[in-house]
Amino acid sequence: MVFLLGCAQEDWIDRTLVTENVTGAWTGSFGDGNSYRPIQFELRQQGAKVTGVMMVSPTGSASFGSSIPIEGSVAGDVFTFRDQRGTYSGELTVGGDNLEGQIVSHYGQRRASLRRGGGVPQSDSATR
C-alpha cells in the first residue's frame, strides 16, 4: 500500500512540474482577419500558481480596455488561465519569451501569440 501511494505522489509531481516562469509583461494579439485584437498580460507567478491582469483592445482600437483579473497555473511549459468573470480562458505554450496557443472568449476560440516585454503587436495580415 505504501508503494502505491509513493507512485501516485510521484506521478502528481511529474504532471505539475513547473519548467517555465511567466512573470512579467506580455504583449501580443489574438484572433485573425477582422477579429484581430491586441492583448496584454501583466503576470506574477509563485510556484505553479499565476495571478495577474489582462487587457484587451476593442476591435479596431489602438487603446486597451480595462484590466481584467486572471488566475492560472503553469504545468511543464503550458500556461492555462481563466478570468474571474468566465469571459476569457486560454492555454498557451511557453517558450522562453514567447506564448503561443489559443484563447477562448465570446468570439470563440482564436489563435494567440504574445511576447514578453514586446512592443505593439501587428496583425498577421499587416506583416504579409
Q: What was the pLDDT predicted at 35?
A: 74
From the CB of residue 123, how many other CB atoms can be counted at a distance below 10 Å? Answer: 16
Q: How many whole angstroms separate alpha carbon 44 and alpha carbon 27?
A: 15
41-61 tens-digit pLDDT? 999 999 999 999 999 887 666
106-127 tens-digit pLDDT? 878 999 999 998 654 443 333 3
Q: What are the structural domain ranges in the chain?
A: 18-118
29-46 tens-digit pLDDT? 988 777 788 899 999 999
Burial 57-91 (b: 16+ CB within 10 A, else e): beeeeeeeeeebebebbbeeeebebebeeeebbbe
One of 3.10.110.10, 2.40.128.120, 1.10.3720.10, 3.90.190.20 is the CATH number of 18-118, namely 2.40.128.120
Decide if pLDDT at 62 tops 70: no
